[in-house]
A and B are shown apart, each in its own frame.
Chain A
Amino acid sequence: MNINNSTAQNTYDAIVVGSGISGGWAAKELCQKGLKTLLLDRGRNVEHLKDYTTAMQSPWDFEHRLNHTAKEMEENPVQCLVADAANKHFYASDKEHPYVQEKPFAWVRGYQVGGRSLTWGRQCYRLSDLDFEANLKDGVAVDWPIRYKDLQPWYDYVESYVGISGTAEGLPHLPDGKYQPGMELNCIEKHLAQSIKTNYDHRLLTIARVANLTRGWDSRGPCQNRNLCSRGCPFTGYFSSNGVTIPAAVATGNLTLRPFSVVSEIIYDEQTKKAKGVRVIDTNTKEVIEFYAKVIFLNASTIASASILLQSKSRAFPDGLGNTSGQVGHNLMDHHSCSGAGAQHDSFADQYYKGRRPCGFYVPRYRNLPGQKDKLDFSRGYALQGHGERKEWIDKSIGLEGIGKDFKEQLTTPGPWTVWMAGWGECLPYYDNKISLHATEKDQWGLPQVAIDFSFRENEEKMMKDIQETSADMLTKAGFKNVNTFKYHLPPGSTIHEMGTARMGRDPKTSVLNEHNQLHDVKNIFITDGSAMTSSACQNPSLTYMALTARACDFAVSELKKGNL
């Protein structure tokens, strides 16, 4: 086609699809490297500070306090599972954005500029070679095409920019990073940490490593210990696309941000064997617009990125763009985090705390480590996340009998110290855990709805049982009372760590992306969100997406300069 005026206007050096935690990084890196970059997001714009409308509100400012109405729960069960009245505007409505659950699966989405980087859990842990080599050693799925040494400098790079507080522990399987001082453990957590240290080899309890600033950093923060992060932070106390990477991209003068833009497909050019651009539906006007670029970063999130590939059908790719392997949409993973233990301790009755620390503690993986002799009935491992606190009114009121003055006194004074902890466990990649495009159900833009077919299997179930047992054991040894193990009945997806639907690998026949996060089949498309993950490890994955993104951007720009893209 001839290049008319609008084509020229709609042409950029790079297009980034999705502005969440990885898309924000792609936009920043590409803009800072001088590329004119179009950043697309399907949702509305959320301007840092200005659009955090509930950030300074108190519980009584909300009509039903922080509760959902019965109507909201009925219409938006997945949104209501994770959101409250104060942050629900940052979670997509099930009713407006339906999908098909072939088995129960909570697909929790953030359809706005910044995506789920506004509401993420902010925990940042590195993967290690224990993780990168696991598939190869176990003969599971395919081998990661990279190792820790490939990603290490990029972990350094992104951590130094994000601003992460934490404590170095010198563990080979949970490599230390660049940290601000860690937040402080409280009395009961210190007690548990000491007991674990005394009673076990290979186990320790450390403060969570989180993208919350304990020191002012590049005119951001520090964190004010409000623990209201998911409403957006008026102090920029935590890292988000909105607060950090998007403003950095804007500052270069190279960024064009286009909200309300649903990408319906990537346009493939058979002659050049490259992607030409993307087709977008403007969600306000319903207008269909094409944008063109030399390089495309797909960062729409694990499930959405795979669905865009599947929607992008052409003569060359009848089963979806970049899907000659048949792996796109398959190997979906989510961490499980529903099992653990809680307990109560009689000590430290004269101690309390002030402030709401926005994180808990972390017990790094201690199962199936190199050199351990235990014969376990599951492979891989898990880390524990938890927190200690005194029982406050919401906990104390459960089962508290009586009325009147005595009841009120009980209700309003601090109760005993408690610890709650649960295992965040690795999920193996199973080919038949998958997303696909539904044959008949459409969304409001006429695009096929995503159908999700996912379940945890024997390995995950056995791990959940082990989590309960080892958690209870650590609490018991530390002198806790009323040790209760639990396994919540939450649908998979609830951990909101979807991964694996366009996995990296060495062989184009069995994987979608190569070692640079480049589509094996179409070299000018890069995918650096969770879909790239070849295995899930048990660490919270966002830091790895950020490191993969920065690394892939560096590679893409150098390839572009060499004329290879």
Chain B
Amino acid sequence: MNRRKAIRNLLLGTGLATVAVSGYKWYAITKRPHLAELDQYKALISEIAETIIPETDTPGAKNAHVGEFIYKMIIDCADVKSQNRFLYGLKDLESHCHSKFGHSFIHCTVSQREETLRYIEQSNKPYAGVIGKIQRKLFGTSFFEMFKNYTVMGYCTSMEGATKGLAYDLVPGTYEACIPIKPGQRSWATK
């Protein structure tokens, strides 16, 4: 997590040495990303997404092909900074699993996976207030926040997610403005 510390120091303005490191990190985040590397992480992406939205009595991220969606979004829709951050984030996550559990995320147990993601979510959390704002402005949303946003969008706009995980109605016909909520009521998938 040296990169995060570097960002932190840059924002707090603590000395020249840090600025030099941060300059390198700035390059690292704005350079042209090696998107081909993403291919080797397809399975990993799917497993992370499934850990965020698991199969329960309704379909999970894997059933909804969220991994494929995230891959497509990173390749086609994300800007360069986000692409770089995404790749670095995956690598950081893998090295964390290797140092902590001795193997890849994919070979972790469910509880190891959850522990890993909870740790990354906390350590990726932006600062509160103005500093957090600058942080976001310079570096965009964090790896984990980005991953989670894509997972949520991928799931909730998929056929499996929208029709089974949520409630979907292509042609409602009428608008019923105030109706008693039903037990186990799912949210509407679209507005």
Contacts and interface: CB of A to CB of B under 8 A. Distances in A.
Contact of A353 (B114, B154, B177, B189): B177
A184 B52 contact: no
B139 to A, nearest CB: 17
A184 B54 contact: no
Interface in A208-224: 224
B52 A63 contact: no
Counting chain A CB atoms within 10 Å of each CB, the highest count among B171, B175, B190, B191 belongs to: B175
Contacts of A477: none
A412 B184 CA distance: 10
Contacts of A314: none
A190 B178 CA distance: 10
Given A60-B158, A64-B76, A355-B173, A392 B187 contact: yes
B95 interface: no
Interface stretch (A92-100, A281-289, A398-406): A398-406
A403 B114 contact: yes
B77 A64 contact: yes
B177 A407 contact: no
Interface string A350-364: 111111110000000
Interface string A440-464: 0000000000000000000000000
Interface string A53-73: 000101110011111111100
Q: Which residue among A184, A403, A407 has the maximum number of chain B CB atoms within 10 Å of its CB?
A: A403
B141 to A, nearest CB: 11
A414 interface: yes
Interface in B141-191: 148-149, 152-154, 156-159, 162, 165-166, 168-181, 185-191
Contact of B157 (A65, A357, A401): A65
Given A403-B121, A405-B54, A412-B165, A226 B152 contact: no
A226 B188 contact: no
Contacts of B191: 227, 356, 389, 392, 394
A225 B54 contact: no
B38 interface: no
B175 A392 contact: no
Given A227-B191, A403-B121, A405-B54, A63 B72 contact: yes
Nearest to A414: B187
B117 interface: yes
B181 A414 contact: yes
A185 interface: yes
Contacts of A413: 185-187
Contact of B174 (A67, A185, A354, A389): A354
A199 interface: no
B187 A412 contact: yes
A353 B56 CA distance: 26
A150 to B, nearest CB: 36
A350 B182 CA distance: 8
B177 A405 contact: no
A352 B176 CA distance: 9
Contacts of B154: 65
Interface residues of A, number: 52
Given A65-B153, A70-B76, A412-B165, A351 B170 contact: no
Interface string B47-63: 00001111010101000
B73 interface: yes
B79 interface: yes
B188 to A, nearest CB: 6
Given A224-B171, A393-B152, A403-B121, A353 B176 contact: yes
A355 B175 contact: yes
A225 B170 CA distance: 9
A58 B162 CA distance: 10
B82 to A, nearest CB: 9
Interface in B100-156: 114, 117-118, 121, 148-149, 152-154, 156
A415 B185 CA distance: 11
Contacts of B158: 59-60
A408 interface: yes
Contacts of A69: 76-77
A186 B178 contact: yes
A227 B188 CA distance: 13
24 contacts: A56-B170, A59-B162, A60-B158, A63-B72, A64-B76, A64-B77, A65-B69, A184-B177, A186-B177, A224-B171, A226-B171, A348-B178, A353-B175, A354-B174, A355-B169, A355-B176, A392-B188, A392-B191, A404-B51, A404-B114, A405-B56, A408-B54, A411-B156, A412-B165
Given A64-B76, A355-B169, A414-B187, 6 more contacts: A183-B175, A354-B172, A354-B174, A356-B172, A356-B190, A408-B60
Closest 5 CB pairs of A and B: A355-B172, A355-B175, A59-B157, A184-B177, A354-B176
